[in-house]
Amino acid sequence: MKFEIMLSILFELLSKRFVNAAYLSEKYEVSKRSIYRYINALELAGVPLYTVKGNGGGISIVDTYKLSSTFMTIAEFDNVIDTLSAICDSVPNKTLEKAILKLKATYKNEYSGFTIKTGNLIIDGGPWGDAKGYKTKLSILQKGIENSLQIKIKYHDRSGNVSERIIDPYVLVLKQGLWYVYAYCNLRNEFRFFKTGRIEEATVLSSNFMRKDISKMDLPLDFWHNSVIAKEVVMEIDKNYVSDIEEWLGIENVKEENGKIIARASLPYDDGLISKIMSFGKGIKVLEPKSLIDQIKNSAQELLKNYNK
């Protein structure tokens, strides 16, 4: 019996108060019989659980049961507060600020004599320019999400087109160091991701929207695949550019092969990829696919024409 699974089931019950065995079986990839063994072990440990049989039945925990605040170690408490504070610094949230203050107060009462050592984690998805303005936009989007309020945005797409839209914001997503808002676009009548850095203006409207039932599993987090084709790209990397390429593609995709440094990755095959590769100058040499090599050659020749006039 894995103690980690049993502990996770306990936290699941504390969070939801009622779950069914089929859900737990699927989530932890074990049989229902194993789930009931975990439940039995929790009961023997003194956790007040009870089972509801029949259609719609499941496993429940007594409402009055709570864990002591001292169930966390000092290091765990430090890391939880540190992480929440980093998120709050990046996306200001008054509710989260209150939660952090409550945690710190609990920490002070339960662990007297110890000092909270936060500040080891910083999340900054903003641009190098006006970071304050960027945070303001995130705050506006967060307000719309929390209160189900529509937001009017002025948006610049990748082609340079500027449009004003009314969006129904659902969730903020931090992906590859960039903030996106997943929202229903009333102009296009569909859900889509909007890159926060491409939003010039954002205003919270007084009109509410009816939220649809969308879970995290419904989010197309590989969203660039929806608009462009992904292709396997192989590149030879100059040793002086290795660190930059590792940060771009991930260190696991850059390896030494036969005395050369080779990067392999599945990338969105569009103009953005060509611009990105060319931004590294002689630091990258594309080996595959041939179509990408030809496009880079053509782009380089067009660029050269600007300087030969």
CATH of the domain at 272: 3.30.70
Please tell me the predicted confidence (pLDDT) of residue 166.
97
* 53-89 per-residue burial string, b: 16 or more CB within 10 A, e: under 16: eeeeebbbbeeeeeeeeeebeeeebbbebbebbbbbe
Bridge partners of residue 149, in order along the sequence: 208
Please tell me the predicted confidence (pLDDT) of residue 208.
95
> How many whole angstroms separate alpha carbon 41 and alpha carbon 43?
5
| Residue range 210-217: mean pLDDT, rounded | 82
Q: What is the DSSP letter of 129?
A: S
Please tell me the predicted confidence (pLDDT) of residue 70.
57
Tokens of 153: 């945005």
Position 72 pLDDT exceeds 70: no
Please tell me the predicted confidence (pLDDT) of residue 71.
62
CATH of the domain at 56: 1.10.10.10
The set of residues, in sequence order, having a beta carbon less than 8 Å from that of 232 and lying 6+ positions away, is 264, 265, 266, 288, 289
Question: Percent of the chain scored above 90 by pLDDT?
Answer: 24
The answer to whether position 121 is within a domain reads no
Please tell me the predicted confidence (pLDDT) of residue 110.
54
The answer to whether position 100 is within a domain reads yes
The answer to whether position 22 is within a domain reads yes
Please tell me the predicted confidence (pLDDT) of residue 18.
82
Please tell me the pTM assigned to this model: 0.51
> How many whole angstroms separate alpha carbon 69 and alpha carbon 110?
7
| Residue range 129-158: mean pLDDT, rounded | 84
Question: Percent of the chain scored above 70 by pLDDT?
Answer: 82
pLDDT band at 190 (very low <50, low <70, confident <90, very high): very high
pLDDT band at 139 (very low <50, low <70, confident <90, very high): confident
The answer to whether position 120 is within a domain reads no
- Asked whether 296 and 284 are in contact (CB, 8 A), the reply is no
Q: How many domains does the chain have?
A: 4
Structural domain including 175 reads 131-225
The answer to whether position 32 is within a domain reads yes
Q: What angle do CA 218, 209, 185 make, to 5 degrees?
A: 60
Q: Where does a domain end: 202, 225, 248?
A: 225
Q: Where does a domain end: 45, 61, 77?
A: 61
| Max avg pLDDT among 79-88, 146-155, 192-201, 244-253 | 146-155
CATH of the domain at 146: 2.30.30
Could you count the other beta carbons within 10 Å of the beta carbon of residue 226? 9
Q: What is the DSSP letter of 187?
A: T
Q: Where does a domain end: 225, 244, 268?
A: 225
> How many whole angstroms separate alpha carbon 46 and alpha carbon 146?
38
pLDDT band at 293 (very low <50, low <70, confident <90, very high): very high
Position 178 pLDDT exceeds 60: yes
pLDDT band at 226 (very low <50, low <70, confident <90, very high): low
If one compares 77 and 246, the residue with the highest pLDDT of the two is 246
Please list the alpha-helical segments (H only) found in the chain: 3-16, 21-28, 32-44, 74-90, 94-110, 131-147, 224-227, 242-249, 271-278, 290-305
Per DSSP bridges, beta strands 149-156 and 162-175 are antiparallel
Please tell me the predicted confidence (pLDDT) of residue 129.
53
Position 223 pLDDT exceeds 90: no
Please tell me the predicted confidence (pLDDT) of residue 17.
74
